[in-house]
Amino acid sequence: MSELRRDPIGGRWVIVDTDHPAKPEDFEHEPNVWKGGNCPFCPGSEALTPPEIEAFRDPSTRPNTPGWQVRVVSNKFPALQIEGELDRRGLGLYDMSNGIGAHEVLIDTPYHNKDIPDLLNHEIEQIITMSCRRSIDLFKDKRFKYILLFKNFGPAAGASLEHPHTQIIALPMVPKNAMEELKGCQNYFEYRERCIYCDMIKQELQDKERVIMENKYFLSFCPFVSRFPFEVRIIPKKHNSYYCHMHVDEVPELAAILKETIAKIKNVFASPAYNLMVHSAPVTNDDGIEYFHWHIEIMPKLTRVAGFEWGSGFYLVPTPPELAAKYLREK
C-alpha cells in the first residue's frame, strides 16, 4: 500500500509509492539537446550581453572583456525592469502594478561545458560569494521585498542557453510559495518556540536513512515529504534566515557539499536536467526572521506534473526519499 505524507510546513500532501518503488533505470528523463549557435556568455562575446554589473576578473583586464571568472549582467529579456515606479493600483476587484524589479544573470564560469560538479571548489566558492554580493546590493533598494536565486540546467528544466548560469530576480512583493512557507514556519515557531528546520536537521541526523552526506556546516538529504523523485535539500546546520548572511567560513563547505551532491545526482541519472532554488527570508530592516531557516532545493526533472497534481495539489512520488537517498549515498 502506498503512503500519504503531509508536509509539516505548508500542509501539502504527497503520495509515495512504497509497494513498487521506481529504480533509477525506470526513469526516462529528456536528454539535454541544445539549439547551438554563438554563445553570448562565452569569453569574447561580452558585447552580446548587456553591460557588466559586477565581475571577478583578472585585475589587468577591463569590464566587458575576457579575463573574468564570474560575471553578472542584466538579463537581456528581463521578466521585470528596474527603472520606474511600482504604482500599485486597483482595477475593480483586481490588484496590479508596474512590472518593477530586477533580473540579473550570473554567468557561473567562462567554460561553456562545465556545470558545478566539473568546477574546482574555489570556482564554486566564487559563484556563491558573487550571488551573496548581488543579493546584498539588491537589498538596498527599498522597492524590493524578496530576492530569488535559481538555476535551470538543461532545456527540460527551462534553460534556454547551455552555458551554465544562475538567475537573480528581485521582486516588489513576497511571492505566494515563499509566503506559505513563511507562515508554516511561523506557526510551528509560535507553537513550539523552535525553528522547524532546526528540528528537521536533528531528526534527519537521528534517522539517517534520508541523509545523503554532511560536513561541518551543512546537511544534504532527501526530504521526508519530497514532491518529486530524488528531490534534495541542502541546509546549514547553524540557524540563519538569510543565504547572503552566511559566515565566510561556511562558503567552502557549501561549495563542497553542493558540488558532491549534484555530482551524485548526475552519476545516478547521466546528467539530467534539474532546477536549483535558494529559499531565503524576505528583505527586512533587521538581521532576519527568527523562525525561518534558509536552504537550497534541487529537483531533477525525472517526471512531469500532470492533471492529478494540478487538480488536487497532491504530488505522486514513485521513489520513496529513503530509497532515493540510498542510491545517492552509494554514488
Other C-beta atoms lying within 10 Å of the C-beta of residue 219: 20
In this structure, the number of other CB atoms found within 10 A of the CB of residue 80 comes to: 16
C-beta atoms surrounding 21 within 10 Å: 17
| DSSP string for 25-76 | GG--PPP-----S--TTSTT-GGGSSPEEEEEE-TTS-TTSS-EEEEEEE-S
Catalytic residues: 165
Element (H, E) at 111: none
As a whole number of angstroms, the distance between CA 170 and CA 75 comes to 12
Question: Bridge-partner residues for 63, per DSSP?
Answer: none
**In the chain, at which residue ranges do the beta strands (DSSP E only) sit?**
3-6, 13-16, 52-57, 68-74, 89-91, 94-96, 102-107, 146-153, 165-171, 211-214, 218-221, 232-236, 274-279, 295-300, 315-317
